[in-house]
A and B are shown apart, each in its own frame.
Chain A
Amino acid sequence: MPLLDVENLTVTLATSSGSAQAVRNLSFSLDEGEIIGIAGESGSGKTMTALSLMRLLPHKGFATGSIKFSGKDLLAQTNRAYRDIRGNQIAMIFQDPMTSLHPMIKIETQLTEHIRHHKKISQESAHLKALELLDTVKIPDPASALEAMPKQFSGGMRQRIAIAIALACDPKLLIADEPTTALDVTVQAGILRLLDQLRREKNLAVMVITHDLGVLSSLTDRIMIMYAGSEVESGLTSDLLKNPRHPYTKGLISALPTSSISGKKLLTIEGMPPELGQIPSGCAFHPRCAYAKTSCESQIPTSISISTKHRIFCPVNPLVSS
């Protein structure tokens, strides 16, 4: 049984012009100790997927479908019951470590508050646990770091502290939303190595959300590409990056500045992703797709299996690809 099993997840948000679906019929699963990457442009629904797992959707937003975590249906839990799961069994880190830490509260308080709430342990044991956590995430001199304020740390160190806070209750699943986007590449490399080490040592399942395919290539076992709220392609990291089959995935990969195309211009996918609530009919990608046929305007693509764990949602491309 997978640790996390999401089936037909649909997230509906309230916008000024009525309700709109930010995530549409999304299904995926995640095993213990596995790292899955979710990639897509802003507005593709990747963050809303994460927030629905944390039950932190914006006001008037709601999720339907099913989210099974350790066999428990998360969507059926009451808000009160959910408080024992959030931050305890499922934890999350955010993009900007400059704002996800409270600037006026010292590190020790931020690190131990929820340990004491969830685990009901004494202040002393919480203190020891906090020292151990800072050591795990490789903060030099943990004892004095506990007394310090967030502003005394660099961006990379703050992200390490945010990871320590997330790990405090030994969660089974860590959701990392653009964890290295705000950091320098040299610092990013350290955070990626840390996440990989935690997965191996603690058998932690990690869901990484990012638009950086390089980050996903280094860190993840599997990747799911999202467009306009739906999955377009998923597969093992090497399969998907070496042999992308969906036109959108191919476009993302050839738009990378590291691609070998010569000249100063970068390849781009023409057009813009659709706005929330204005999703095109049929395949949502068809207005930007170079391979689109007339049938793509009306038919919603279904899953087509390429190989084990590798599938795409595009009826056209298997015929033209490689």
Chain B
Amino acid sequence: MNELLKISNLSVEYHRNGRKLRAVAGVDLTLAPGEILGLVGESGCGKSSLGKAIVGIEKPAEGEIRFNGNLVKPLDRRGRPTELRNLQMIFQDPYGSINPRRKIGDQIADGLIVAGKPKNEALKISAELLEKVGLGASALDRYAHQFSGGQRQRIAIARALAASPTAIVADEPISALDTSSQAQVSNLLVSLVQEFGMGVIFISHDLSVVRKISDRIAVMYLGKIVEIGTTEQIWNQPSHPYTRALISAIPKADGNSNMPLDLPGDVPNPAFPPAGCRFHPRCPLVQVGCESSVPEIRTLKDGRGVACVLQTSNEIVVPLETIKGR
């Protein structure tokens, strides 16, 4: 079995004001060792809820997550079962995820001490981990405020590495950082994957970074995956109208003064998702029937999965120019 993570029919629900909100509405995903899977979508599409459910922070309403074949159960007060310790998460905001009043070294050592290592050995490993993420052992005795955003994100990565993870869910790990720190942190993740063969789910709204570092990309819209395939397929030949809209909305720094394409409307409130295909109210290629029938994800000839009635074969039924001509 070559699957590190297997997510089947996963749903996450929240209850607000007596209403049920389905943030994740039936997602299937797999992650192989050494693979970076990019998960993209607009805010409110459920990508963070999915990420949290995968590591057991959110309780799934339906479906299951298996990590190395073991069922991921939501965290409880007893802490994390040993077989799940190698599944770790990195959060978006390195200002909020690190305790400002404790030494960096102690925070990284926590996980190791819980895992049964004596304190001096835990601190020694922490120093090695800080070295690994490019900060040096001198960071051990310092505090969060003494570091920049990019450095704090490296600390967060070092802390996740303390559990010798084989799978990491990184939720917008570079969104809060400056351009040059973004490149440095994403390069660090890539080299860690290459060195240790971890699998990474990289959640981001920035498709241009995702396509650079990912092997596969999953595009999410309103709780569902609408397209999933290799980076090559998604970036160069996007099939789903939403994927195409996302890519054409990225402004290009080519100096040609081209306005990026606009996708009118906002992501609908997930408490009241549209019937049929959830993208149909914003879809430039909407057909009769899209408002009533729910498109299932289907595998095309080239191996990618697409949930759209227009995709019946590997040929892209409607050329990209039709969208551009709007």
A residues near B (Cβ < 8 Å) are 41-42, 154-157, 184-190, 192-193, 196, 211-219, 237-242, 252-253, 255-258, 264-269, 272-273
Contacts and interface: CB of A to CB of B under 8 A. Distances in A.
A188 B245 CA distance: 12
Interface string B234-255: 0000000000011001111111
A154 B183 CA distance: 29
Contact of A218 (B148, B184, B208, B251): B251
B120 interface: no
Interface in B215-273: 245-246, 249-264, 266-267
A188 B260 contact: yes
Given A184-B43, A185-B205, A189-B261, A265 B178 contact: no
- Chain A CB within 10 Å, residue with most, of B180, B256, B257: B180
A214 B250 contact: yes
A156 B205 CA distance: 15
Interface of A is mostly: helix
Interface of B: 36, 42-43, 148, 150, 178-180, 182-184, 186-187, 190-191, 205-209, 211-213, 245-246, 249-264, 266-267
Contact of B208 (A192, A239, A258): A258
- Chain A CB within 10 Å, residue with most, of B182, B246, B250, B251: B251
Contacts of A219: 259
Contacts of A252: 179
A267 B183 contact: yes
B262 A268 contact: no
B249 to A, nearest CB: 4
A215 B262 CA distance: 13
Nearest to B186: A266
Contacts, number: 127
B257 A189 contact: no
Given A215-B251, A268-B187, A269-B180, A257 B211 contact: yes
B190 to A, nearest CB: 5
A54 B205 CA distance: 32
B324 to A, nearest CB: 13
B205 A184 contact: yes
Contact of A186 (B36, B187, B245): B245
Given A184-B205, A185-B246, A265 B187 contact: yes
Contacts of A187: 42, 266
A36 B231 CA distance: 35
A256 B182 CA distance: 10
A256 B249 CA distance: 16
B218 to A, nearest CB: 17
23 contacts: A42-B178, A154-B266, A184-B42, A185-B206, A185-B246, A186-B262, A187-B266, A188-B260, A189-B249, A189-B261, A192-B260, A193-B262, A218-B252, A218-B257, A237-B257, A238-B256, A238-B257, A256-B208, A258-B252, A264-B190, A268-B180, A269-B180, A272-B148
A193 B249 CA distance: 11
Given A155-B43, A264-B212, A237 B205 contact: no
- Chain A CB within 10 Å, residue with most, of B190, B212, B259, B261: B212
A237 B261 CA distance: 19
Given A218-B259, A266-B209, 7 more contacts: A185-B42, A185-B260, A188-B260, A218-B251, A242-B254, A256-B253, A266-B183
Given A186-B245, A265-B190, A193 B259 contact: yes
B179 A217 contact: no
Contacts of B43: 155, 184
